[in-house]
Copies of this chain bind each other. A is one copy, B any other.
Amino acid sequence: MKVGGQPMRTLWPAPQRDALMVIDQRALPHALRIERLESAEAVEVAIREMWVRGAPLIGATAAYGIALQMNRDAGDASLDAAAKWLARARPTAVNLAWALRRMTEALRPVAVADRARVAWDLADAIAEADVETNAAIGRHGLALLQAIAQRKPGAPVQVLTHCNAGWLATVDWGTATAPIYQAQAAGIDVHVWVDETRPRNQGASLTAWELGQAGVAHTLIADNAGGHLMQRGEVDIVIVGCDRVSARGDVCNKIGTYLKALAAQDNGVPFYVAMPISTLDPALDDGAAIPIEERGAREVTHIAGVDAAGALVEVRLTPEGTAAANPAFDVTPARFITGLITERGLVNAEAGALRRLIEQAP
- A interface vs B, CB < 8 Å? 29, 193, 196-199, 201, 204-205, 208-209, 212, 218-229, 231, 254-256, 258-260, 262-263, 266, 288, 292, 297, 300-308, 313-319, 321-327, 329-331
Question: Are A204 and B318 touching (Cβ within 8 A)?
Answer: yes
Question: Are B319 and A308 touching (Cβ within 8 A)?
Answer: no
Question: Are B303 and A314 touching (Cβ within 8 A)?
Answer: no
- Counted per complex, copies of this chain come to 2
Contact of A228 (CB < 8 Å), options: B218, B227, B258, B260 = B258
- Cβ contacts under 8 Å, A307 to chain B: 313-316
Question: Are A199 and B227 touching (Cβ within 8 A)?
Answer: no
- Chain B min CB distance to A306 (Å): 5
Question: Are B317 and A305 touching (Cβ within 8 A)?
Answer: yes
Question: Are B316 and A306 touching (Cβ within 8 A)?
Answer: yes
Using known A-B contacts A29-B319, A303-B303, determine if residue A223 contacts B222 with beta carbons closer than 8 Å: yes
Q: A204-B300, A208-B322, A305-B316 are in contact. List 11 more A-B contacts (CB 8 A).
A: A193-B325, A196-B317, A198-B198, A199-B222, A209-B319, A219-B325, A220-B325, A224-B254, A224-B256, A262-B263, A303-B317
Contact of A201 (CB < 8 Å), options: B220, B292, B305, B317 = B317
- Cβ contacts under 8 Å, A317 to chain B: 196, 201, 204-205, 303, 305
Smallest CB-CB separation from A310: which chain B residue? Answer: B316
Closest 7 CB pairs of A and B: A224-B256, A305-B315, A228-B330, A262-B262, A29-B319, A198-B222, A220-B324
Could you tell me the distance between the alpha carbons of A306 and B208 in the complex, rounded to whole angstroms? Answer: 25
Could you tell me the distance between the alpha carbons of A224 and B223 in the complex, rounded to whole angstroms? Answer: 7
What DSSP secondary structure best describes chain A's contact surface? mixed
Smallest CB-CB separation from A28: which chain B residue? Answer: B319
Q: List 11 A-B contacts (CB under 8 A).
A: A198-B222, A204-B300, A205-B319, A218-B322, A220-B318, A226-B259, A228-B292, A259-B262, A306-B315, A306-B316, A313-B315
- Cβ contacts under 8 Å, A231 to chain B: 258, 288, 330-331
- Cβ contacts under 8 Å, A329 to chain B: 228
- Cβ contacts under 8 Å, A258 to chain B: 227-228, 231, 263
- Cβ contacts under 8 Å, A300 to chain B: 196, 204, 220-222
- Chain B min CB distance to A331 (Å): 7
- Chain B min CB distance to A10 (Å): 17
Smallest CB-CB separation from A222: which chain B residue? Answer: B198
Smallest CB-CB separation from A320: which chain B residue? Answer: B29
Smallest CB-CB separation from A323: which chain B residue? Answer: B219
Smallest CB-CB separation from A306: which chain B residue? Answer: B316
Question: Are A228 and B327 touching (Cβ within 8 A)?
Answer: yes
- Cβ contacts under 8 Å, A221 to chain B: 300, 324-326
Smallest CB-CB separation from A203: which chain B residue? Answer: B318
Using known A-B contacts A196-B198, A326-B222, determine if residue A319 contacts B256 with beta carbons closer than 8 Å: no
